[in-house]
Every structure is written in C-alpha cells, then in structure tokens.
Structure 1
Amino acid sequence: MFTLTLLMAAASVFTAAVFIYCFKKQNAGRISFSILLLTGVILIAASALYAGLGRFSDWQDAKVETHIDPRLAAKITEARREVLRFPDSADKKIELGRLLLQGGRFSDSAQVFEQAIAQYPQRADLYGLKARALYYANGRKITDDVRESIDAARALKPAEAESTMLVAEDAYRRGEYRVAVEEWQKVLKSGSAGINREAVANAVRSAQTKLQKSEQQ
C-alpha cells in the first residue's frame, strides 16, 4: 500500500506542476489538457486500486499481511463483506476462516471459527476447523487447546472429518504411521461429504508403506 500512496502523491505533485505550467504557457492548451487528463486517470486508478486492496486488512482487528497474494486478498475482502452482510451464516464464516487459514492468518482464522461456534455450538465441523487453525497457530503441535477442540468435535460426531484428518496428518508427520492409517480409514468409512477420497486413500497407502518399512528395520 506504501507504493500506492507514493503513486498518488506523485500524481498530485505532477498535477500541481501542470497547472502552474498552464498558467504561464496559455498557448499550450491542448497539450496541457491531455496531460491533465492522463494525470486524472492515474489518480482515479490509484484510488480505485487502494480501495479494492488497501482496506481488505481488517475484519474485527484481524489484519491480513501485505505479502498475501492479491487474488487471495481479494477473496478475503469479499468473504469479509459477506460475513458482515450475513452475520448469522455459519457457512460465510467458514469460508472466511478457510481463506484466512490459506493466507497463513492462523490465529485470525481460529477466532472466526470460534465466533461461528458461539452461534452454532452443535456443529461438529466448526470445532474441527478451529482445531486445525489452532494447530498451525501453535507451530503444528497438538496443544491443550487444540486437543480440546478435537475432543469437542468428536463428542458431537465421532468421525468428524476435519479433526480426524488433523489427527492423522499429525501422526504421520511424527512417524506414528499406524495411528495415521487408523484415523484416515475412519474418514473413508464415515462417508463424509466434501473430502477428497482419492487423496485420503493415497495417504493411507503411503502410511502403510512407511509402516511396513519401519517394522522391517
């Protein structure tokens, strides 16, 4: 956004200089008008770009870092607007939370899911999503607050997909391949909608292969 500010400031200074030039050189009207028109276009474009990207950064004190891809930032902006437009929609909050998670705003994502839980405490998937956001916010560790969210999700739905896949992924990362296989198989058997069954099946096969190799050593 600093670059945009400089652009707008430079365009403003340039506009002032052109006005002075026009005042002194009245016979250069056509050229001056063209320059003024171009300057106006620059100012309008800079303002529009700032409005579109520069204010995506704050949703209830959740700031998006400037290094986030502009396309993702635009999606976060739209999701933020949708949440404000439909404050009672859990799905809108889920979309925003997922985008923040994708953008590396893990704590902000967890806060969004927490707000959704406050409205819909019986939705198991919200606890699973919150667990994943907290997991990454805590450096990919299953801390007490992550475990609490996992347990809450499973209390409502024993094979809740988000929390179960998180446990499987963490186990795989730590070399506990048997646990990973068991957890991923729970997801496949649950028939949960919205999961990539092929990807989960591939993960199971990978964990089984690593488990066999570890047992042969």
Structure 2
Amino acid sequence: MSDFWVISVVLVVLALGFVLYPVVRAHRAKSNEGSVEALDRRSQNIAFFKDRLEEINAEKEAGNLSDEQFEQLKSELEAGLITDVDGLSHDAESAAKSMKVSVAAWSMTGIMLLSIPIVSYALYAKWGALDGVEQYREWGNSVPAISEGMPKQNIDELLVALREKLEANPDNPDGWFMLARSSMNLEKYDQASYAFLRMAELLEKEQEDASAIYGLAAQALFFAEQGQMTDKVKSILDKAFATNPDETNGLGLLGISAFEQGQYEDAIKYWGRILEVEPDNPSRDAIVAGINKARAALGLPLPVDKYSEAPLESNSEAVQGQTTDDPNEQSNTSSSVGADVKVLVELDASLASEVSPDDIIFIFARAVNGSPMPLAASRQTVSSLPILVTLNDEMAMGPMAKISSAEEVSIIARVSKSGQPGAMPGDLQGGMSPVKVGSGEVVKVVINEKVN
C-alpha cells in the first residue's frame, strides 16, 4: 500500500501549491512595487532641491536677491525637503502596517497549509474505501487464477481466506460478488447464494437496485437444492420481484419449475415475459426452445414462433392440428439432432482402491462461458467403467439449458461419495475442456484426481 500513500501525498502537495503560489506571488509584487515607488520619490525630491538651490544661488549672484531674501528662500526649500522626508517616513509606516497585514495573510496561509492534509485524511478515514483498496490488491487476481487451472486445493484456500476477510470487513460489495462468482464456478452453490445475498443487502443499504443480485442468489440456491423450488428459494425470489417484477433470472427459474411440474402455460408466460422485457437476452435461443417445447407439450400449433425471426418448419408440420402419444418427443425433431458429445470415461488405475463398485458417477457437460448449470448429465456407477456415454439434449437438466445451445463445453466425470452431483471433499474426478459440440469425435476423460 506504500504507492497509495505516496500518490496521496503528491496530491496533497499539489493542493498546497495551489494555495501557496498566489500568496507568494502577490507578496513579492507588492514589495517590489513599494520599493520602486519610494526610490523614485526620493530621487525626484533631491533633484528638485538641487535644481532650485542652484537657481536661487544664481539669482543672488546676479544681485536680484538680497542676503535676507536668499536665506528665506533657502529655508523654505530645506523645509520642503524635510516635509518630503516626513512623507517618506509616513510611507514607511504604511509599509510596516502592510507588512503586518502580510503577516496575517501568511498566518492564514499557514493554517490552510496545515488544515488541508489533516482535513483530507480525516475525511478519507471517514468516507474513504481503504479496506476495499487493500482487499482488491490482495484478491483482485483470484478469479483469473481460478480459470487458469490453479490446483483446486489452492483455490479453496483462497476462497476460505477471502470469505474470512469479507466477514471481518463486510462493506465490500465487489468482494462479495467475487466470492459469489468464484463459488458458482466451483459448484459451491450454497456459498454463492450466501455471498450474493450479502452483496444485495449492501446494495439496498446504499439504496441501489438489488433485484438482479437477488435473482442470482435464488438461482444459486436453486442449484444447491438440486433444482427444487423450495420455500427458501421462493423467499429470495420474492425479494427480487418486490423491486423488479420482471427480474429475468427469477422469471427463468419460475419457468423451469413450472415446466418440470407440467404447468406449461405458466412456463410459456414466464419465459415469454423475459423476451418481452429483454429481447436480446444472452439465453434467447434456449428460452425460445423451451417455449416451443412447452407449446408442443400442450399440442399447440407452431406455424411461426412469435419470439424468433424464422418459421419453425420442422416443428409446425408435426404438431399442427394433432399431437402424438408423447408430445415431448416432438421437440426432439428440431435442429438439435447431432448436437451431442460422445464421452469415454475411465478410472485411473492408481485410484482403483479408493472406490467401490456401487459408487455413483456423474458425467456432465457445462458451457465453457456461461451459466454453471449442467447442459446434459448422465448418472452411472463405478462398476460400469470404462463406459461410453453420449451427452445430448435428452439428458438436459431443463428445457432452457441444453447442450445444443452451446458450441463448446467442459466435460467433467466425478465419482461422488455422497451421491450428490456437487463436488465434496473425498470425491474423485477428471475433466476435459474445451470440447466442441457435435464433432462426432469421442472425448476421453480419465478420473485421476481427488477433490480436497
């Protein structure tokens, strides 16, 4: 932090210079002006006295003045010179008074020179963000490090230290957001939700709109609850909608929940509202696909999708005027055919003693850039290894999160000791990233590391 203090001192010195320079300049100008004026008057008085004395001497020698008249004129001339000298003395007194005024001005200047740094640092101590600067210096590079393949143990240690520092100095919304996003990337959804909530509280305290952060908090908790719309998730959504009824993250969650419960009309309403308030939503294609799938489930015709620019020709003939026994199958005839990833999963021989045949393996694909929600997932057991699985839209976690919506994905295979998809200490995993969707090539993933 030494550079911070050096820069602050330089700025204070510059501020002092703006105060000091005009005072010094005015004092010098006034002093020089007074000195020149006094010298000019003295020279002029002496020259006048000499000239006049020579004139009356000349008049006396010419016989035009008597001795008495000469002495009288000379006395008057000398008296005038003395008067002028008194005037100069008066000017000196005035200069002395002016000097006293200058001393007062200098005193005021001195007070300002002392008060500027004292007041500046006092105000910064009250309203500044030195703790925030320190935390940014210390943790500002932690997120890039996570994405660059830092060992997971080191990442966990960083996040633990970051959370402890934030708990000690909680008034740092940027720090909470950093913790939340990093936790989402590591599938620590409970911690991500907690961090988003702390950030939202700080934003509300500053009277800023926190609805989007509440929506992210609800989304993280939704993932932590295995995609269940629990009462706690609903309570967070209520906070988001209390400020912004059209908060898009919340609307997306309500749409997913409604679809999974077979409430297709509600799903269409929620997802359609997202596209109305945010036509350029980054997940637009997935939202449109979800709406189409819900319409197909209702047996509704799809001659033209009102949310997209082109007709859905492949779907319209299939659903117009009739439905099949399983309407959900109609959505699988879309352009997502071939949008899959073939994965061969193996277990490193060195870890064979760490697992049992009944241990659960989760194999899933996740967008390289985007939401951490899996786009496709397969549940297997260790006894089936090695195994070749094909991750496609039929394995989607929800209608808005499908593998066909991504060009590249990260593949992760995890042996879960707890039976839950979230990473826990003691689990074994392996991964590959990035993987191109629909390439037809088989991606080999070896489970070769332990989760700490």
Question: Larger relative contact order (C-alpha < 8 A, sep ≥ 6)?
Answer: 1
Partner of 2:273: 186
Aligned position for 2:201: 118
Q: Distance in 1 between matches of 2:160 and 2:296?
A: 45
Bigger proportion of residues as strand: 2
Which structure would you say has the larger Rg? 2
Q: Which amino acid aligns with 1:117?
A: A
| Whole-angstrom CA distance in 2 between matches of 1:130 and 1:113 | 5
Matched residue type, 1:88: N
Shift of 1:151: 1.0
Structure 1 match to 2:216: 129
Whether the 8 Å contact between 2:159 and 2:179 is mirrored in structure 1 is: no
Aligned residue among 282, 287, 292 for 1:200:
287
Report if aligned partners of 2:275, 2:281 keep a CA contact under 8 Å in 1: no
Which residue does the alignment assign to 1:66? none
Q: Which moved more, 1:141-150 or 1:94-103?
A: 94-103
For residue 239 of structure 2, the aligned residue among 144, 152, 166 is 152
Shift of 1:146: 0.6
Look up the match of 2:154: 55
Q: Which residue of 2 aligns with 1:88?
A: 172
Equivalent of 1:163, from 250, 255, 265? Answer: 250
> Does structure 2 conserve the Cα–Cα contact (< 8 Å) formed by 1:161 and 1:192?
no
**Residue 104 (structure 1) aligns with:** 187
Over aligned residues, Cα RMSD in angstroms? Answer: 3.1
Q: Whole-Å Cα distance in 2 between the matches of residues 159 and 94 of structure 1?
A: 22
What's the secondary structure of 2:155's corresponding residue? coil
TM, length-normalised to structure 2? 0.29
Deviations 1:172-193 (A, max 9, x none): 1222211111100010001276
Unpaired runs of 5+ residues, structure 1, are 1-51, 63-79
SS of structure 1 residue aligned to 2:245? coil
For residues 62-116 of structure 1, give each alpha carbon's deviation from its aligned partner in whole angstroms, at most 9, with x where no partner exists: 9xxxxxxxxxxxxxxxxx69x97xx7344x6445424422432111111111121
Distance of 2:186 and 2:297 partners within structure 1: 31
C-alpha spacing 1:159/1:192, structure 2 compared with 1 (3 Å): farther
Q: Tell me the percent identity.
A: 22
Distance 1:59 1:156, change over 3 A: farther
Which residue identity does 2:260 align to in structure 1?
R
- Cα shift at 1:118: 2.1
With structure 1 as the length reference, what TM-score do the two structures score? 0.57
Match of 2:420 in 1: none
